[in-house]
Homo-oligomer: A and B are copies of this chain.
Amino acid sequence: MSALIPAPLPSWTGGAAKQRILAVVDAMTDPTSPSFVEERRRIATFDNDGTLWCEKPAYVQFMLLLNRWQQMAAEDPSRRETQPYKAAVEGDRAWFADVYAHVADLLQGAGDAYAGLTPDEFDAAVADFFDRANHPRFGVPLHHLTYTPMVELVHLLRGRGFKVLITTGGGRDFVRVVSEEIYGLPREAIIGSSPTLEYRDGTLYRTAQLSGGIDDGPGKPVHIYERTGYVPAFAAGNADGDIQMLESARFGLLVHHDDDVREYAYDTGSENALSQAGRDDWLVVSMKDDFAQVFPPDT
């Protein structure tokens, strides 16, 4: 390689993970390789929370909703007596932590939070949140905590003819507001959970109802096929909700959160994925050992 061409994946250490990724991409794009993937089938899909950006101490979108519920309770104090507004106002972490007991209230609250808004109004509300919200530990805007090595991988794949899509279990329209700025990916590259939209008198409106199922677990390969007409060639995730997407791909990559100095160390919610990784030969990426750098230099 010429010294004038920058080396690929500069924010990865030179270990086995980086070498395997480069070998896989080379094989998939080499017409003489048995692993060659024709360009139309080069679909690469990335989970978002915990795979492309930091999901601790809470999902970024949860922080948005918390903020919104507090705002709604301030506008209409009668809401303080009902959940999830009550817990949001009181900062009741225990209530939110018990997700399974409160899933109906949480989904109802998430649906109601932006129901009736047009897409442009929703975009403006989300942009305003990102302008103001800082990470409690790192003190930088929440959406600046992207994983530089993973964003480099997105660009490497795009440069090699892959169509890169994000499949977020969270809100599709939420991620679309910042996807171009932080990943260089157009709005259409984002697949995710979303409300049903309604068309009335020339305008679209968000409703409180979920459309087409949560983009998590089996919903991911379903939505990827709906969107592209193919199963992914390359898929990256970090949690149990990514298992089916990784299974459906030719090559699977699992980000392992094992760096409590530079980020967080946790396996909760990823136990099954980590145990399936060995059986299915997914590449487990250690944030501690394989990432030379975690976040962008200016954060």
Contact = CB atoms under 8 A, between A and B. Distances in A.
Contact of A221 (B173, B199, B244): B199
B222 A197 contact: yes
A171 interface: no
Contact of A211 (B173, B180, B190, B226): B226
A187 interface: yes
Nearest to A120: B231
Given A176-B229, A197-B225, 15 more contacts: A40-B180, A163-B188, A187-B230, A188-B228, A190-B229, A194-B226, A197-B222, A197-B226, A199-B222, A199-B244, A199-B248, A202-B248, A204-B222, A204-B231, A211-B226
Copies of the polypeptide in the assembly:
2
A119 interface: yes
Interface of A: 40, 119, 163, 172-173, 176, 180, 186-188, 190, 194, 197-199, 202, 204, 211-212, 218, 221-222, 225-231, 244, 247-248
B248 A188 contact: no
B204 A225 contact: yes
Given A204-B221, A212-B211, A221-B204, A229 B187 contact: yes
